[in-house]
Structure 1
């Protein structure tokens, strides 16, 4: 049975889904239009027979509060740390996708007492270059285009599905449930707001503000990096460089995935989480 709960951290109500028993595994979702219910259900269901699985909605996403705050990677990590402290949950196997992967790495650096093993999936923070250069900077500064896109997606499941083509390797193979989850999430009144604030905090004319390339030596948790071979947002080369720099790290490239492995190949993600827990 899935427990839908919430805790208050520094004045913000943070919603979470939890189920199972055993070693704690925490799943952090990505950005744009994401939440625990969007990216994680197939992995969540595969892990709960063996583990206690906790999947929070990050600050401003899903059913968590959208408050006046800085939506940077370090700030998200502070909020997640507060959730784990409040729930007395740690040390954990911490799994993070994209933005959530950057939050997971930040948390492992800031609070190593909370992180026993680390599984970043196509994580933010492994490089500074923006994926589309000046266009990415322009879109971060002129946020009206994001608002227009979200308004269009709310009116059309077909457009919502088409928008996922840049995140997956084979759009035709993407389960309908994944599209439905995004389509339902985009209908929330505040959909996209947290991501726009994230871009305000993290995108500069010099590239991404938060990068971990000079802090790899400080990561003490065993780290299993997963990266989609066809990811067009964050290049595989960044993950290869990270695997070489992190003291106890290994990289596994997922040949059939782009940027959304938990939905493209949840079996592989669950197997790698199993392996990370076994090797802890």
Structure 2
């Protein structure tokens, strides 16, 4: 682990390997670089220089009193690349990180080599449970109760992952331990609760990159789990059809967490797609 200051805030990150740069951006809720990417960093470091930061407010990075919007994360990750002189990185973003990856390509001077939005957020406005999702976003006490249960029980932590994976029995013990470890950090879910407050309205999600995908000029591989109930696979199909230089790979035995559900396949996809010239 190393630390770099971006806009006055410390960002913790893992750096490994030598080769073309590959930036891995994690998702929301209780996540961090080592949580979602823990099983793929080492094998990917055989081909790439891998950077897996804890985004602002997550993991071991600073938790300043700011609005944790997609735009905030995009600006911070652009600053991360600037501070570390990361040039022409391939960017793989998971869920929330997928939206940040699209934002880096569309709204900043980061000259991405390849994009791999995985289980990508930001491809539509419809809330997964309609008005109920909006109401729950305004009741942060429920999330605090869930986090308290995570902290008390590794078993509850594993069971809760059924909401984002197709089969919890496929998860490694190291994976469950990583989630449980980060659930017990003082900042667990704080940034995500703030993000959800700003992102969810009665009309739906605020962030929707779909109308802008016509302007996406970076070779892009959308990766999505067939059984994803958080972001329906149909949204990735529509996005891949709309972006001018994009394709889609659907993982049949995955839901919303491919780097943990099928790490070997993710390594293969990233190596083949991002390693090409």
Shorter chain as normaliser: what TM range? over 0.9
Q: Distance in 2 between matches of 1:193 and 1:70?
A: 11
Tell me the residue number matched to 2:222. Answer: 225
Q: CA deviation at 1:112?
A: 5.2
Provide the residue aligned with 2:62 in structure 1: 65
How far is the alpha carbon of 1:25 from its aligned partner? 0.3
- 1:149 maps to 2:135: no
Aligned partners of 2:5 and 2:198: how far apart in 1? 23
Runs of 5+ unmatched residues, structure 2: none
Query: 1:113: Cα distance to partner?
Result: 3.8
Write out aligned runs for 1:1-280 (5 A).
Answer: 4-111=1-108, 113-280=110-277
**1:113/1:9 Cα in 2 relative to 1: closer, same or farther (>3 Å)?**
closer
Contact 2:228–2:254 (CA<8 Å) still a contact in 1? yes
Deviation (angstroms), 1:17: 0.5
Contact 2:38 2:175 in 1 (8 A): no
- Aligned residue for 1:53, secondary structure, equals strand
TM-score calculated relative to the size of structure 2: 0.98
Between the aligned partners of 1:213 and 1:206, the Cα distance in structure 2 is 17
Runs of 4+ in 1 over 3 A off after TM superposition: none
| 1:175, distance to aligned residue in structure 2 (A) | 1.2
Cα separation, 1, equivalents of 2:38 and 2:110: 27
Q: Is the 8 A contact 2:157 2:180 kept in 1?
A: yes
Question: Alignment length, in residue pairs?
Answer: 277
Are the counterparts in 1 of residues 47 and 271 from structure 2 also a CA contact under 8 Å? no
Partners of 2:10 and 2:171 in 1: CA distance: 32
- Take 2:110 and 2:25, find their aligned partners in 1: how far apart are those partners? 18
Tell me the alpha carbon deviations over residues 30-75 of structure 1, each in whole angstroms, 9 at most, x when there is no partner: 0000001101011111100111000000000000000111111111
Asked if the contact 2:81/2:110 (under 8 Å) is kept, the reply is no
The DSSP-based 3-state class of the residue aligned with 1:67 is: coil
Local SS of the residue matching 2:150? helix
* In 1: Cα distance, 2:44 partner to 2:220 partner: 19
Task: Give the alignment's TM-score, normalised by structure 1.
Answer: 0.97
Partners of 1:139 and 1:37 in 2: CA distance: 28
What is the DSSP-based 3-state SS (H/G/I as helix, E as strand, rest coil) of the residue aligned with 2:144?
helix
Question: Is residue 228–residue 255 contact of structure 2 (8 Å, CA) maintained in 1?
Answer: yes
| Paired residue secondary structure (2:224) | strand
Root-mean-square deviation (Å): 0.9
Q: Shift of the alpha carbon at 1:169?
A: 0.5
Instruction: Give the direction of change, closer, same or farther, for the CA distance of 1:66–1:113 in structure 2 (3 Å limit).
Output: closer
